[in-house]
Amino acid sequence: MLRPVAFIVLSAATLPAQIGEKQLRQPLGENWYEYNGTYDSRRHSELKQITTANVGSLVPSWIFHIPNASRLQSVPIVANGVMYVTQENEIYALDARTGRQIWDYHRVPAYQRAPNRGVAIWGDKVYFTTTDNYLIALNAVSGNVIWESKFAEYKDGYCSPAAPLIVKGKVIVGVAFGDRGLNGILSALDATTGESLWTFHAIPKPGEPGNETWSGDSWKAAGGDTWLTGSYDPELNLLYWPIGNPSPDFNGDVRKGDNLYSDSVVALDLDTGKMKWYFQFTPHDTMDWDSVEIPMLIDAVYGGKPRKLLAHTDRNGFYYLLDRETGKFLHGSPIVKKLNWASGLTPEGRPIRIPGMEPSLKGTKICPNSSGATNWISPAYNPDTGYIYFVAMEGCGIASKNMESFRPGGFQYRATGDVPAPDEKSRVIVRAIDMRTGELKWEQERAAAHNFGGGLLSTAGGVVFSADFEGQFTAMDAKTGKILLHFNTGQRLNSGPMTYGLNGRQYVGLTAGSDVIGFSLFEKQ
Amino acid sequence: MEVVSQGHELFNKSCTACHGRDGTQGDRAPALGAARRYFRLSEAAIFDAIKNGIPGSAMPASGLSDDEVWRIVAYIRNIRSTASDNDVPGNVQNGMEIYLGKGKCASCHMIRGQGGLLGPDLSSVGAQLSLTQIRDALTKPSPPQEGYVPVQVTTRSGEVIKGVAKNEDAFSIDVLDTNGKLHLFTKAEIQNVVHNPESFMPHDVDKTLTPSEFQDLLAMLSRQARTKVHREQQGENEVGR
């Protein structure tokens, strides 16, 4: 029989396995440590037990139900055999082989509703952000709260849905909502203490470079939020963070100018938060085309020499390849056929606008619609095929504007929006494009889906996994797009699949509506 | 507190036929101050039930004035109060020293990031438990809570692991060992599991501490109320008409 005294003596003897820089910089294998798997955000795993030949026999190994959940957007993290999955203000730690719950954490009160996209892990702790903008650090094995630290004010209307990114003991957190005229920030907090280390302001203040791209006082309620997780290059020590749309979304008359750094990717020094370069995808956006789509970092020969690249499929309808050391534009090409607002890109990568193609009082038909040619759901890159996989939407909207004015306190500040064009039924399609040229290699429609649904996962087994809004979890051949497996989860899918390995077995993890599912190859019991 | 005592008087005039004297035990209706889970938690929800009754149940509209109903609400809230609602006497700072030192509580329990992992976190214990429940936990034996059941697992290779089971079913068991390491087992990987019916929690704290030390510890624990407990929020929105 165990006696209290015995374990009191033992209790502080050793620490659980620590997650540090070394683990986080490894290629994706047994663990999945971050929202997009690795710092380069390619969502490509080296695991290859599951292949194109056997993926047809993938079956659910376990299902975990999250109470009161509906449209989970969390991407599970797996470390040391434990899966961490979230919904707003809640974390569940599960045995990643069995789906059995180890601990859960609920934070109350919860001041507002917003999705949560997952945890980050560092040392012996897991971290996530709440709808009232606290970063919470919990012991990874027990769920005990170690500290909490507030980084934005919910009373102003801010919330924080994105999974944090942790690099060298700095927890990087961002905010939403850009549709409320709330200016975006990106903050670094100390992973040990929760202390604020630096804050980057996505909208420059008077006297700062870029402020001149906002007419009058429009910079004060300007959006540019940071509601998705960025990427990091350890060699350059640069964070690449994607920035959301300007406010008001649809009426650009009140904010003449390019509206920096809305709809941009910014490269920030990890240590200081100072910007090294930026690239703006949609100057003076009037269609809510956030550029939060994940920046994928790829090292490859381009133009005859090895280069550090940044690949990005944007909501505005174009694919971009940048040099991530300098921000120089290298290549751009359309990712959708329905694209009527720009005739192309200049040699510098700036869209060549077609006059009149913007929201009007009567309504203007604009393609892509405001949902975009793609959106926040994660893309993937497979170095073996050299293809980028992403979820595209072919659709148009009738976009109008009005004179809605800004009200402090977190109220909508969109100045109207768009409705689906009656003659243009939107379609959602998984596409593979060549990383260097943007050339379409294959496509596979998510038939009948009118919403993006969830993201993509690529594996060394030559498989692309896809999570479809209609509930179908599918596996495709990375080379051809041929469907190799489809499984009806019975729920809307709004998150990206991930993969991990335990005890010689490869699993694919997925949040499906209100459930978490662990798939693996069928094995007779 | 005058309001509460007036509410107490009104309660014992109007409500005892079903809910029992002092609301602590009910014969024909729920004991309103017991340890069960209540759906009507907020003042407004309790007021609504007393004022208007609960349709589809035996609970009638009371016919009392708003002022009288509010006094009963105050009384019901009082009998359901958690430790943090009370001004428990004692030296809080000294209580914390005992918690960290002589009482050895921090070996297993954490308060605001400081302490051990094997027992439940006590950062909000004052808002979760009544003073009586806290005193009982320190002085009376009780079965371990789910997630804190002491176990000894022997693996196939003969390794013996002692700790608490975070979960267990017919095919798997996850154990947080006494060193703070998590072990995730399928039942096929282990020889056997021995369950200890008694919690690791000592139940003689009132004897190992002096009376004044024990009181200081109670005072400190009663003031740990970082957040409202999740349990209290559940069902809150299910009430109403």
Cβ-based contacts of B174 with chain A (< 8 Å): 95, 100, 102
CA nearest to A67 within chain B: B234
Interchain CB contact of A437 with B (< 8 Å): no
- When pLDDT is averaged across residues A173-201 and rounded to a whole number, the result is 96
In total, chain A counts a number of residues equal to 525
- Phi and psi of B126, rounded to 5°? -65, -25
Q: What percent of chain A has a predicted confidence (pLDDT) above 90?
A: 91
Q: What number is the average pLDDT over the span B204-209?
A: 96
Q: What pLDDT sits at residue B28? A: 83
C-alpha dihedral (B179, B184, B189, B195), degrees to nearest 10: 60
> Residue B136 is encoded by which pair of tokens?
């009982």
Q: What pLDDT shows up at residue B230? A: 39
* pLDDT for the residue B43: 85
Give the rounded percent of residues in chain B with a pLDDT score beyond 70: 92
CB contact under 8 A, A4 and B201: yes
Residue A11 has pLDDT above 60, yes or no: no
- Mean pLDDT, chain A, rounded, equals 94
| Side chain identity at residue A413, one-letter code | Y
Report which residue type is found at A286.
Answer: T
Nearest CA to A446 out of A422, A423, A424, A470 is that of A470
Q: Dig out the tokens for A203 from the structure.
A: 């909208």
Dihedral, CA of residue A136, residue A455, residue A412 and residue A148, to nearest 10: 0
Give CA B202 to chain center in angstroms: 17
C-alpha pair distances (Å), A499 with each of A96, A123, A463, B76, B187: 11, 22, 11, 52, 24
- The pLDDT of B32-48, averaged and rounded, is 80
Among residues A233, A339, A353, A214, the alpha carbon closest in space to that of A282 is found at A353
Nearest to A11 among B107, B174, B229 (CB): B107
Q: Calculate mean pLDDT across residues A162-180.
A: 96
Q: Give the global pTM.
A: 0.89
Cα(A27)–Cα(A284) distance, integer angstroms: 38
Contacts of A53 (CB under 8 A, 6+ apart): none
pLDDT > 50? residue B100 = yes
Residue B48 in this model has a pLDDT that exceeds 80: yes
Q: How far apart are CA A454 and CA A55, in angstroms?
A: 19
pLDDT of the residue at B149: 95
What percentage of chain A reaches a pLDDT higher than 70?
Answer: 96
Work out the average pLDDT over A407-422: 94
- The crossing angle, in degrees rounded to 10, of helices B211-222 and B92-100 is 100
Q: Contact at 8 Å (CB) between B111 and B225?
A: no
Nearest to B169 among A7, A12, A100 (CB): A100
pLDDT for residue A193: 97
Q: For the CA atoms of chain A, what is the radius of gyration?
A: 22
Q: Which two tokens stand for residue A108?
A: 């109350």
Mean pLDDT in residue range B60-65: 91
Mutate to test the interface with A, among B124, B172, B174, B233 (most CBs of A within 10 A): B174
User: What's the CA angle centered on B89, arms B129 and B226, to 5 degrees?
Assistant: 40
At residue B241 the predicted structure's pLDDT band, cuts being 50, 70 and 90, is very low
For A189-227, what is each residue's pLDDT tens digit? Answer: 999 999 999 999 999 999 999 999 999 999 999 999 999
Contacts of B113 in chain A (CB under 8 A): 144-147
Six-digit token string for A482: 């041929």
pLDDT at B90 over 70: yes
Query: Is A193 touching B (CB cutoff 8 A)?
Result: no
**What is the reported pLDDT for A15?**
39
Q: Which residues contact A370 (CB under 8 A, 6 or more apart)?
A: A249, A250, A287, A288, A289, A397, A399, A417, A418
Residue A175 has pLDDT above 60, yes or no: yes
β-strand partners of B151 = B163, B195
A127-132 average pLDDT score: 96
Q: What pLDDT is attached to residue B78?
A: 81
β-pairing, A456-459 vs A44-45, is: parallel
* Count of Cβ atoms closer than 10 Å to residue A118 Cβ: 29
Q: How far is CA A387 from CA A42, A43, A116, A383, in A?
A: 11, 12, 29, 7
Q: What is the DSSP letter of A247?
A: S
Among A11-15, A109-113, A393-397, A477-481, the range scoring the smallest mean pLDDT is A11-15
When pLDDT is averaged across residues A84-111 and rounded to a whole number, the result is 92
Catalytic residue among A179, A258, A263, A288: A288
Of the given ranges (A236-240, B25-29, B163-167, B231-235), which has the lowest mean pLDDT? B231-235
Q: State the CB neighbour count (10 A cutoff) for residue B26.
A: 18
Omega before A60 within 30 of 0, i.e. cis = no
Which pLDDT belongs to residue B233? 43
pLDDT > 80? residue B174: yes
Minimum Cα–Cα distance from A192: chain B residue: B113
pLDDT of residue A61 exceeding 50, the answer is: yes
- List the beta bridge partners of residue B163: B151, B177
Q: What is the pLDDT of residue B27?
A: 76
Spatial separation of the C-alpha atoms in residues A29 and A17, rounded to whole Å: 17
Q: Return the closest-CA partner of residue B31 out of B54, B51, B11.
A: B11
Contact state of A144 with B179 under an 8 Å Cβ cutoff: no
Distance of alpha carbon A68 from the chain centroid: 23
Active site residue A288: yes
Say which residues have a Cβ less than 8 Å from residue A342's Cβ, sequence separation at least 6.
Answer: A316, A317, A318, A351, A352, A353, A354, A357
List the A125-129 sheet strands across, edge first: A120-122, A125-129, A134-139, A145-150
Looking at residue A426, what is its pLDDT? 94
Say yes or no to pLDDT of A1 above 60: no
In three-state secondary structure terms, A285 is: coil
Mean pLDDT over all residues of chain B?
88
Separation of CA A185 from chain center? 16
Amino acid B1: pLDDT: 66
- Vertex B163: Cα angle to B160 and B168 (nearest 5): 95
How confident is the model at residue B80, as a pLDDT? 81
Q: Are A387 and A435 in contact (CB under 8 A)?
A: yes
Own/partner long-range contacts of B8-13 (Cβ < 8 Å, ≥24 apart)? B8/B75, B8/B78, B10/B64, B10/B68, B10/B71, B10/B72, B10/B75, B11/B72, B11/B75, B11/B76
| Residue-wise pLDDT tens digits, A68-95 | 898 999 999 999 999 999 999 999 999 9
B239 pLDDT higher than 90: no
Q: pLDDT value at position B237?
A: 40
- Sorting pLDDT into bands at 50, 70 and 90, what band is B31? confident
Closest residue to A141, CB basis, from B108, B182, B201:
B182
